[in-house]
Amino acid sequence: MIERIYLDHNATTALRPLAKQAMLSLMGNPVNASSVHADGRLAQAALEQARNDIAKNLHILSSGVIFTSGGSEACNLAVAGAQKVDQPISRRIVSAVEHSAVSASAAQSDMLPVDEHGVVDLEQLEALLQGQEPAMVCVMLANNETGAIQPIREIVDIVHGHDGLVFCDATQAIGKIDVSFAGLGVDLMALSAHKFGGPLGAGALLIAPKISIDPIIRGGGQELRRRAGTQNLPAIVGMSVALSEALEGVRDRELMSSRRDAMEDKILAQVPECVVFSKGTERLPNTSCFSAPGLSAEKLVMALDLAGISVSSGSACSSGKVSESHVLAAMHVPSNLAHGAIRVSFGWNSDAEKDGQRLVEIWTREARRMGQLAAE
């Protein structure tokens, strides 16, 4: 039997044992934090402890943590419902490489272009803001496909200089690099538990003081009337525990990065025409997106799967479809190169050295085979 290797951690990663243990301790009990009786008060205490722990870990006031069903809902809530308390803002500027949970929530928006590395163009941002009404600018902290990290602090300085807001989708960054809400200076930030070892179906939107939220889910007073619905307490507690453990693991990022780089060096040595996207800028230490001319990502993903290796083609949030990446298109990657791009992403439980070596063997074999077939 083939020993499977999972290298798609940017799509979702395994539930951490401590998070699972914390969740199991609550499952089966009546845990409605809105109830006023003793059981409800115990649930409320556990909910607020999780909120306080998340707030402390990410450097934000606990009142600024809104629990959601995941990163997509958090992004929708921010883009559709956030305003300054004293100054309504209706204009949206969205980077060309944002996740669809952001771009689809801002249909009437201006696009902020990126350079060949996938990093936003700060001069274009300044131009989009100059002489215009204040805007909410939506830029992710790190890209889910290429791993490219954005200059959020510089973006914040520019946008705040024009009285705007900055929403940062940090779902891919948390647990991989240092993330601080206060340190980044953003006004809103989204996170998703299952990206850093928490459960599926839990996330949060972090908001700064003097930011109001118009709820998109109505009908209850939960989350200070910013998000209705009984909170999923086991998942929220699991998210809190997983976050604490994930932040401890950030200290190993240099080792992860060096092993990712070693994998890429081996691929480039064997297939010199291969291109590693965003290699010329700062990236998440666990992420590699690469291709060679004339390859088919669909066929590569299938071949790797048959060999026991799970990877993805671009974003994994497209209903299982393998299609050309809007991120690579925004970076002006030629179609014959973008068509063969795959993403490899290591996780908290990966053996990056061993798993990377196996990936190199199978990918180079298949890339050469496809190249030979194309030449015949």
Listed residue (55, 51, 60, 54) closest to 182, CA to CA = 60
How much is the pLDDT for 321? 56
pTM to 2 decimals? 0.95
Q: Is residue 366 part of a domain?
A: yes
Q: Is residue 342 part of a domain?
A: yes
Asked which of 217-221, 231-235, 239-243 is least confident by mean pLDDT, the reply is 217-221
Task: Please state the domain count of the chain.
Answer: 1
Share of the chain above pLDDT 90, in %: 88
Q: Is residue 228 part of a domain?
A: no
**Rounded mean pLDDT, 260-266:** 98
**Rounded mean pLDDT, 262-290:** 97
Look up tokens 């921010």; give the residue.
78
Q: Is residue 348 part of a domain?
A: yes
Q: Is residue 285 part of a domain?
A: yes
pLDDT digits (tens, 9 = 90+) for 315-362: 445 445 556 799 999 999 999 999 999 999 999 999 999 999 999 999
Which residues neighbour 367 within 8 Å (Cβ) at sequence distance 6 or greater? 271, 274, 292, 295, 300
Residue 179, amino acid = V
Q: Is residue 195 part of a domain?
A: no
Q: What share of the chain is helix, strand, coil (3-state, %, to 5)?
A: 40, 15, 40
User: What CATH code is carried by the domain that includes residue 369?
Assistant: 3.90.1150.10
Share of the chain above pLDDT 70, in %: 96
Whole-number CA gyration radius for the chain? 21
How much is the pLDDT for 258? 97
Asked which of 157-166, 257-266, 319-328 is least confident by mean pLDDT, the reply is 319-328
Q: In angstroms, rounded to a whole number, what is the distance separating the alpha carbons of residues 238 and 367?
A: 41
Which residues neighbour 100 within 8 Å (Cβ) at sequence distance 6 or greater? 315, 317
**Domain that residue 264 falls in:** 5-13+251-375
For residue 3, give both structure tokens.
Answer: 């020993």
**Rounded mean pLDDT, 195-203:** 98
Q: Is residue 102 part of a domain?
A: no
Q: Is residue 297 part of a domain?
A: yes
- Annotated active-site residue in 138, 168, 289, 317: 317
- Does the annotation mark 289 as catalytic? no
